[in-house]
A and B are shown apart, each in its own frame.
Chain A
Amino acid sequence: MEAIKNFINACAVPSRMFPVIVLLFFFVFPVNSFFEKYNKLFFLDRLWTKKGGIFLFSTLTMFLSIGMLDENFRHTVSKPDNLPIVGLIYASLFFLWVALSQARENDLRLEKNEKPKEWHDSQEKILVWPDLVSIELIAMLFALGFLFTWGILVDAPLEEPANLATSPNPAKAPWYFLALQEMLVYFDPALAGVIFPTLIVVGLMAIPYIDNNHKATGYYTFKERKLAITIFLFGWIILWLFMMVIGTILRGPNWNFYGPFEYWDPHKVEALTNINLSEYLYVIGLNMGLPGNIFIREAPGIFLISLYFIGGGFLLTKTVFKNLFKSLGPLRYSFFLVLLLFATSLPIKMTLRWLFNLKYIVSIPEFFFNI
């Protein structure tokens, strides 16, 4: 048992778990025919059948219930303020399955040139009283019952009185902001705390104006909106939920990483070996001191960043997004591309950190400007 726990702890380290999950994501949600082939080959499309759903839920429940036998796991998961996270993992998996199982059903219909099943239902009109109001009443009573039960069973947390002189270790934001706090590991506060949240909000608002595929409205489908759904799910599952779960459950004292079955030892020492690109280049590469002029010092980093946005943008436009550029038009497409490049910069920066201990690509602490 200990060996299995240690194995899971070792696997859960973000630098190992993250690439695996990202890779798995693209096979589970195949964006093109290449991934689709392997999706079918490994029976991943069966996840959205009834059997697949039972498999997903029993696996998750088994992991959680066996995990609860472990003291350290129980300690982190059953903290009152962490309960919503556990609920959210279940709820988001359940509704992901609900959405994609219906999408699968509809896609099979559409392949046979049939209308989606929502279309048949929507042809018939019914009266709101009593059909809808009764459902609303039942839903309200369920929600109220659920809240009362939760309120009776679990006390709302109340810790020691507020004291600015003793800081808890770790100091965590509320769980719904922990994806942002987790981003702080990889980015400067200005980016992780202000610019990225702003871009998330702007990006969400921009969705209906960027997506000009107007046909698939009012029914669940995957095949008709592959790219839109894949991008949204990547943001929602990987960049938001996954980061939030890491931030809540797997980050302990000093914001160090702790496996799910690991004791939160405040004395765990992590080597601080992260260095900037400029230090890599001048100090390690050229064996000299850092140049005094900020622009000479940071020129390589600035070059790389512009290469990513301009060169990367051109490359994507010329290759994978060739058709998309045509269908979206220049204005829509450039908004889409900039938002996408910002979103993918997070996994890219994470990978660079793990591979090269890279702290910042551009680092100008004189003006609090770091990328």
Chain B
Amino acid sequence: MLDKLKKLLENIRQTQFVRSIFRMGGGFPRDVRQRMFVMLNNFFMHLHPVRIPKHAIKIKYTWCMGGLSFFIFLVLAVTGMLLMFYYRPTVEFAYGDVMDMNEQVPLGIMREIHRWGAHLMIITVWLHMFRVFMTGSYKPPREFNWVIGVILLLLTMLLSFTGYLLPWDQLAIWGISVGSNMAAASPFAGTEGPGASLLKIGSINFVHKGADARFVLIAGRFIGEAALVRFYVLHCVVLPFTIMIFMAVHFWRVRKDGGISKPL
């Protein structure tokens, strides 16, 4: 019985159809040659090298934090897209839609996973940076990948920050108020920032409440409809795209700069 099943599977694997999908012809890699080819011939695997030094699989060394950050990003992308089906970014509907996800969906935990995932990703990214520092992995030739990593850290926090406004509850609007008020204090660019009052001709101010850094951030003099749409677009389109590009460069540079750091 088992032999017949095995033979059937083998026959299916040899069909033109399956062989056209998997460049290796499908099947579980069994010998060294196949194990090497699975890395080279599979798009989702080709991020990896074929061989790595043994210390690279020690959890004690890597803490898995970089990989987990990427994985949680994928979880956030999937849950975020699911949430987008049910969420309308307007002052009229936003709160109600989020409320419905809490109250009307049986066993609905997508919003929970998205929110806690966002918190978790910040923690894993911080810990990844901590690990890279403690092993001295930012040293040449990996300096610039550390710089990209800092940009990714910043983007992660901005993604979390822009998402914070979307439920449109008290926690959201006041949390973002505190943050966006800081923009008003930017030197020269914010109304309450140092030097802004110097930028004027006669009595005409260039930097005022209707044209300063805070206005650019929240698209208005106070947090309202326009701010919600702006944060929605930043959170769902602009920042995810940007972070994906930087992530791609980050991973590519890990490989090009000689793979995982190792003692010389």
Interfacial residues, chain A to chain B (CB-CB below 8 A): 81, 83-84, 87-88, 91-92, 95, 98-99, 102-103, 115-116, 118-119, 121-133, 135-136, 139-140, 143-144, 146-148, 150-152, 154-164, 166-168, 171-177, 180-181, 188-190, 192-195, 201, 204-205, 207-209, 211, 214-221, 225, 229, 232, 236, 364, 366-369
Contact = CB atoms under 8 A, between A and B. Distances in A.
Nearest to A194: B186
Interface stretch (B7-15, B118-126, B236-244, B246-254): B118-126
Contacts of A121: 53-55, 58, 61
Contacts of B194: 190, 364, 367-369
Contacts of B64: 135, 139
Contacts of B154: 201
A86 B195 CA distance: 40
A127 B130 contact: no
Contact of A208 (B63, B143, B161, B186): B143
Nearest to A129: B35
Contacts of A130: 29, 35
B263 A158 contact: no
25 contacts: A92-B130, A98-B63, A99-B130, A99-B131, A122-B55, A125-B53, A127-B50, A128-B49, A129-B35, A130-B29, A131-B57, A135-B59, A139-B64, A146-B120, A147-B116, A150-B116, A154-B112, A155-B112, A162-B172, A208-B140, A214-B140, A218-B263, A368-B185, A368-B192, A369-B195
Given A92-B127, A118-B55, A139-B68, A148 B113 contact: yes
Given A92-B127, A151-B109, A132 B52 contact: yes
A189 B182 contact: yes
B198 to A, nearest CB: 7
Contacts of A147: 72, 75, 113, 116-117, 120
A217 B263 contact: yes
Contact of B170 (A163, A173, A188, A195): A163
Contact of A156 (B115, B147, B261): B115
Contact of A194 (B95, B99, B187): B187
B123 A91 contact: yes
Contacts of B170: 159-163, 166, 168
B174 A119 contact: no
A336 B153 CA distance: 22
Interface residues of B, number: 102
A156 B116 contact: yes
Interface of B: 29, 32, 35-36, 38-39, 45, 48-61, 63-64, 67-68, 71-72, 75, 91, 95, 98-99, 102, 109, 111-117, 119-120, 122-123, 126-127, 129-131, 133-140, 142-143, 146-147, 150, 153-154, 157, 160-161, 164, 167-175, 177-179, 181-187, 190, 192-198, 222-223, 261-264
Contacts, number: 282
A190 to B, nearest CB: 4
Taking each of A119, A172, A189, A216, which has the highest tally of chain B beta carbons within 10 Å of its own beta carbon?
A189
B246 to A, nearest CB: 13
B178 A172 contact: yes
Contacts of A133: 45, 48
A177 B161 contact: yes
A368 B188 CA distance: 10
Contacts of B222: 164
Closest 7 CB pairs of A and B: A193-B182, A151-B112, A189-B185, A121-B55, A208-B143, A369-B194, A162-B173
B193 A190 contact: yes
Main secondary structure of the interface of A (DSSP, over half): helix
Nearest to B59: A135
Contact of B63 (A95, A103, A119): A95
A235 B140 CA distance: 23
B208 to A, nearest CB: 13
Contacts of A367: 194-195, 197-198
Contact of B39 (A128, A146, A161, A220): A128
Contacts of B39: 128-129
Given A126-B52, A151-B109, 10 more contacts: A87-B123, A125-B52, A125-B53, A129-B29, A132-B52, A148-B109, A175-B119, A190-B192, A192-B182, A229-B133
A204 B125 CA distance: 14
B95 A116 contact: no
A162 B95 contact: yes
Nearest to B68: A143
Given A139-B71, A162-B172, A211 B139 contact: yes
B136 A164 contact: no
Nearest to B74: A140
Contacts of A207: 133, 138, 146
A220 B147 CA distance: 21
Contacts of A167: 174
Nearest to B117: A147
Contact of B169 (A146, A159, A172, A366): A159
B49 A161 contact: no
B62 to A, nearest CB: 9
B113 A157 contact: no
B263 A236 contact: no
Contacts of B115: 156
B139 to A, nearest CB: 5
A174 B186 contact: no
A189 B161 contact: no
A177 B156 CA distance: 12
B264 A218 contact: yes
B29 A116 contact: no
B123 A88 contact: yes
A163 B182 CA distance: 20
